[in-house]
Chain A
Amino acid sequence: MLFNAQIVAVSHLVSQQARDSLLMIMQLSSRNSNLAKYIVYNTDFCPILATGLSGLYSELPQKLDLTENIDEIRYLQKADILNIPSLNKFVNSLEFCNNVIQVSHSLIANQLLQYVYYGFLIPVIAPALTQNNSEEIIAATLYLDIFLRTINEPNLVKMFLKFILYSKFDERITLLDTLVYRINANNKLCLVTLMFFYTLVDLNSEDVMYKLVFSYLMPCRHLMKSQIASLKQNPHEINGSNAQTFLSLSTDFSDPDRNNKSMIQSMDRTNQVSIPINFSTLNSSDPLYKWLHSMSVPNNLELILEMLDSMNFNFVDYLKDSKQGILSSSQKSHKWSSTYDFVSDLTNLNSTKILDKPSQELEYDPEEFLFNLNISSGSINENTKSTRSTINLFPRELNTDLDSLEYDSSSITSVKIKPERSKKSRSSDNSRRKRKNRALANDFYVLSFDNELSESSGSEESENDEKIEKNDELEEEDDLTATSLSSTATLNNELTSQISNEPSSQYRDQLMDYFFYNEENNKLFLNSSLENFLKSIDAFFSNSLQETQRDTIESDIRKNGADLDALCGEILEIYSQVFSTDVKERTNEIPHQTTSNALTAFPLYNESMNTSTNSSSTNNQTFDSGVESTNSANKENDLGPFLCALLNRLDHMLTNNLQINFVVTGILARLAFYPQLLLRSYLLNSNLVLQPNIKSLIQILSNVKFKIEACSKTYNNFSLLYLKAKVFLIKRLIESRKHNFSYVKPNDKKFAENLKLNNVNLIENQNEKKSKTKKIFSMESIFSIFFKPLNEDSRDIECQNQSYQNNLVSRSELDFRNSNQIEEFYFKEMMDDDFLITDKDWEDMRSRNIAYSAVVFDEFIKELASICQEHSKKSEKFDLFDLLSLDIIRTFYVYFY
């Protein structure tokens, strides 16, 4: 007993030693169930660990310095974590949790998991991910990403995934939806969200893939039905035509042969410089050499030249990576519940049961271990109930039961779950006490809030109010939709005011009227009732609000004006996207969309969640049916929001930031690794006939190619610009490598070899590394490589450039005197004419971006082609070429003889 009391005391200490000894005790518990029981029932070990996480999380910086500039955003590396002490602390403690769950008795592990979920993820991470400040959301997303990459205990990962995939803010919108929606957001938020999705997709989790991709592809609404049979017959395209199709898309700039041909043709017109096939053989007197030299740092020119060469012939490296990726992906996904290959899905086609399957098997098995634990989608509450029987997790659960009983008797059945849910979202003692009061005092489920919360909800109210005004404008465009939109907004508003200001009974009655009215015919929310509502709100504001509160509201309105403008812009955009067909669907869709906006836009997550929960509970039935119908309508000929958002990003490659392009192409390539025919055929099969409104990947890529080529014609010498982009990317690579291989001198031969070995394939050597080292933070990908701050680099290099240019000038002058004067003069002339023009273009952000995009595009094409190739030769059983266990085969013959 004493011993265990000490454990708890010790757990406050952060020293590694204490942790280690604790871990040993935990390990002991796995063999001694009495010890486990004691720790679970008689000590606060688990709650302290979990709440410790929450505490440490709150100490994390809300904004990360490295997110200030989009070029600086990158995966947080080990070094970054060490640089931020609070983050380091947190990650350490998360790792400790991870280890505890790994080694301890299942009793302890389960209790800790529950505490992590209900005491950390739901009340701490969820609000952090859905607050208003985009900088803070960016930091929170990066944090979540790092957490997901830190943990490796399957059960803990499962908890995180359950949180990400299934936790809901209200009846309809899951955290996942919100995150997917953010792919369309501004650059920085989009980038971190995409990075997060890369991590998610890379987990090989069936649930993730089902939620993101397969649930939308399985009905096969994206392709012509006639295709299914032929796909079934020939699951593997073996003639390499897909790869050839992809390769045919590569731009002329990447191909020295074609490039030179077009160069020669245009040679007469301008002083174009031909791009050599082999850079290493460049003569040092060649102007191109000098130009390259001017861009490079000392001793690196040769390396750059070599890498330029290798980039032309790196297809084999892509093949190797694809092979590795596909292999590991199929190994990890072959225990999935479905093969997602039409054959097994056909019987289930068009049955909505699959889509609305209540429970999902979550199979995350990094260690080839199958987990049969069911996760009920969206049934957080049920889950708690079931666990409660074994572990008395939250004492307040008892209240909930009381609540539900009361509600049952008071005939408002649909409300039952809500208070419980709101409880989950908040954990402060304060609110717990209040809830207790409420449970005793209120016959209606108006939540009582803490004082500071009610104040802040006042500001939300004002925002809602503002929203109504804006919505009035929208009414002119689309009466019906706008009406229902504002009606929900009004409802929310009314509810908020109810909640925050201890409403008088008169308002409550009015609200109830509206609820019931709404329940009866949600669709026909009339303008007149809206007017009534607005009036009543006006009255409400003037009567019951104190002067001070009004002031703050007014200032808030002014402050948030700009934000709201943007929000309304978004709403308008969604309108144009969503409303195409049915009036009924419209009316139901708007609340859905607005709430999703509200979730991302409004700061008070708790409040907005509760209010929307309340309002939705009243509209429960209509909403549910509405959501169903809209979902099915959306799913008609749809790839799902995730793929759509990704492909949309890809389509706008030329305007995307370089980093975003890297991550988007990275995610798509990663998705293509998945061996499941449904996904693979869509992404890679160029012969697949799709529904007319669905764009295939190849169509999008050809479109991008067309854009790149159209843009390139507006430049005098785009090939040079392209080359320069390449050189700059290589330089960044070298810089980051130098970081890693700092123990080797840069001009060392070994270093060069090392580099060549490691980097020839620019993209996706990460998988290999990861599988080898299993060290999550050693993830070295194209992202990390290129997320090296470009600005810093270029600034340095600009300085160096200056000095080098000076050098160059002086040297060429020297040459000028010594050697063939005319020729040298000609070169100099040309450099002035041509090279400087490209330099000027380079200064322009937009053209630089286009050049980068073109480089990324060409590499992406090669990557996709290589993935096609690897898929084409992949067999279900095993790859003889891989094993090359030829001894076995040879003996095999003898045996038969």
Chain B
Amino acid sequence: MNNNYDTCIIEYKIHAEYQQLLKHQIPNVYVIPSATSSFIWYGVIFLHQGLYEGGVFRFTLFIPENFDCPRVIFNPIVFHPLINNETGELDIKQYIPNWKRNIHHIYHVLFYIKEIFFQIETKNNLNKEAANLFKTNFELFMIRVKQSVDHSKLKLYDNPPINSDDPNAIKFSNLDEDQFNRIKKEMINQPEYGPD
């Protein structure tokens, strides 16, 4: 029975985390919990400026059951000094070395996710190659970045890379003008739920 309560309490913690996230409203970063597990959140970040301009990167957030530091995996992998080039995992330790449950929250991580694309950190990097290129050969670095961005755009309308059968997985589809206008109208009529 204790397990019963514990599950509830953990679920509610996640819900509360999500509410906090909503309160902080990080522009251009969107996450949604998986329909099957609250511990998996699907996310996407849109970059409208900076080195990664035009990039739309998917990532998945894994929250450990003990509410320790979450793991963020980019898929497809983004070429970035802080993102592991083989696994796509983001180095969060760089930003929050000691994760404390009562102090650090998921929205901190999302802030960080946004930050890495604007301020490139080159110390203690997971992706040494990217870091070196950034320091020594910026042009080549930018080419690799551009490849990442293009790749992300190319893969955008594919099925979500993981758990593609999850109803909450983020899917992209093309809109024609009519559809776009219809949806736009719908959203304007629902200002409460639309973007600010």
CA distance A870 to B19 in the complex (A): 12
Q: Once bound together, how far apart are the Cα atoms of A421 and B28, in whole Å?
A: 66
Q: How far is the CB of A761 from chain B (nearest CB, A)?
A: 14
Q: Are B175 and A874 in contact (CB under 8 A)?
A: no
**Which residue from B12, B30, B101 sits with its C-beta under 8 Å from A893?**
B30
Could you tell me if B8 and A869 are in contact, using CB atoms closer than 8 angstroms? yes
Across-interface contacts of B171 in A (CB, < 8 A): 890
B165 located at the interface, meaning its Cβ lies under 8 Å from any Cβ of chain A in the complex:
no
- Given A312-B1, A888-B190, A893-B172, decide whether A873 and B12 contact each other with a Cβ distance below 8 A: yes
CA distance A883 to B16 in the complex (A): 16
A240's nearest neighbour on chain B, judged by CB, is B9
B183 beta carbon closer than 8 Å to chain A: yes
A279 CB to closest chain B CB, in angstroms? 13
Distance (Å) between the CB of A642 and the closest chain B CB?
30
Chain A interface residue bracket vs B: 35 or more
Interface status of B126 (Cβ within 8 A of chain A): no
Nearest CB in chain A to that of B10: its residue: A240
**Quick check: is B170 within 8 A (CB to CB) of the other chain?**
yes
A874, B19: Cβ atoms closer than 8 Å: yes
Q: Any chain B CB within 8 A of the CB of A831?
A: no
A881 surroundings in chain B (CB, below 8 A): 15, 18
CB distance from B108 to the nearest CB of A (A): 14
B51 CB to nearest A CB, Å: 19
Task: Give chain A's interface secondary structure class.
Answer: helix
Find A894's partner among B8, B102, B173 (CB 8 Å cutoff).
Answer: B173
In the complex, the answer to whether A875 meets B22 with C-beta atoms within 8 Å is yes
Instruction: From A257, A885, A891, give the contact of B1 (CB < 8 A).
Output: A257
Q: Which residue of A lies closest to B17 (CB)?
A: A238
Q: Are B168 and A886 neighbours in the complex by a CB distance under 8 Å?
A: yes
Q: B116-143 interface mask toward A, CB cutoff 8 Å, 1 = contact, 0 = none?
A: 0000000000000000000000000000
Q: Please determine whether A888 and B187 come into contact, CB atoms closer than 8 angstroms.
A: yes
**Is there an interface contact between B167 and A313, defined as CB atoms closer than 8 Å?**
no
Measured in the bound complex, the distance between the Cα atoms of B13 and A183 in whole Å is: 38
Known: A874-B19, A877-B22, A886-B167. A869 touches B12 (CB 8 A): yes
Q: How far is the CA of A752 from the CA of B188 in the complex (A)?
A: 47
Q: Is the CB of B175 within 8 A of A243?
A: no
In the complex, which residues 536-579 of chain A have their Cβ closer than 8 Å to any Cβ of chain B? none
A883 touches B101 (CB 8 A): no
When chains A and B are docked, how far (Å) is the Cα of A816 from the Cα of B88?
71
With an 8 A cutoff between CB atoms, is A264 at the interface? no
B12, A872: Cβ atoms under 8 Å? yes
- B9, A880: Cβ atoms under 8 Å? no
**Is B63 close to A, CB under 8 A?**
no
| Residues of chain B with a CB closer than 8 A to A876's CB | 23
Q: Are B44 and A239 in contact (CB under 8 A)?
A: no
Q: Which residues of A contact B101 (CB under 8 A)?
A: 239
Query: Which one, A239, A244, A256, A872, contacts B102 given CB within 8 A?
Result: A239
> In the assembled complex, how far is the CB of residue A302 from the closest CB belonging to chain B, in whole angstroms?
22
Given contacts A875-B19, A896-B46, contact A313 B1 (CB under 8 A): yes
Structural contact, B172 and A873, CB atoms closer than 8 A = no
Q: Are A875 and B9 in contact (CB under 8 A)?
A: no
A855 to chain B, nearest CB (A): 15
A660 interface residue, CB < 8 Å from B? Answer: no
A895 B180 Cβ-Cβ under 8 A: yes
**A315-B8, A891-B183 given; A897·B56 CB < 8 A:** yes
Residue of B nearest to A244 (CB): B9
With both beta carbons as reference points, the residue of chain B lying nearest to A257 in the complex is identified as B1
Is B20 an interface residue, CB under 8 A from the partner?
yes
Residues of B within 8 A of A236 (CB): 16, 19
- Does A878 lie at the interface of the complex (its beta carbon under 8 Å from any beta carbon of B)? yes
Residue of A nearest to B175 (CB): A894
Q: Which residue of A lies closest to B35 (CB)?
A: A886
State whether the Cβ of A247 lies closer than 8 Å to any Cβ in chain B.
yes
Within 8 Å CB of B184, what residues of A? 895
Please indicate the chain B residues that have their CB under 8 angstroms from the CB of A255 in the complex: 1-2
B16-A873 in contact (CB<8A): yes
Contact B4 A315 (CB under 8 A): yes
**A886 to B32 Cα, complex, angstroms:** 9
In whole Å, how far is B3's beta carbon from the nearest beta carbon of chain A? 9
- Contacts A/B (CB < 8 Å), 13 sampled: A238-B17, A239-B101, A256-B1, A313-B1, A315-B5, A873-B12, A874-B19, A881-B18, A886-B32, A888-B187, A889-B30, A892-B187, A897-B172
Q: A239-B16, A873-B15, A897-B46 are in contact. List 16 more A-B contacts (CB 8 A).
A: A238-B19, A239-B102, A240-B9, A243-B12, A315-B8, A319-B8, A865-B5, A869-B12, A872-B16, A879-B19, A880-B18, A888-B193, A889-B30, A890-B170, A892-B187, A893-B172
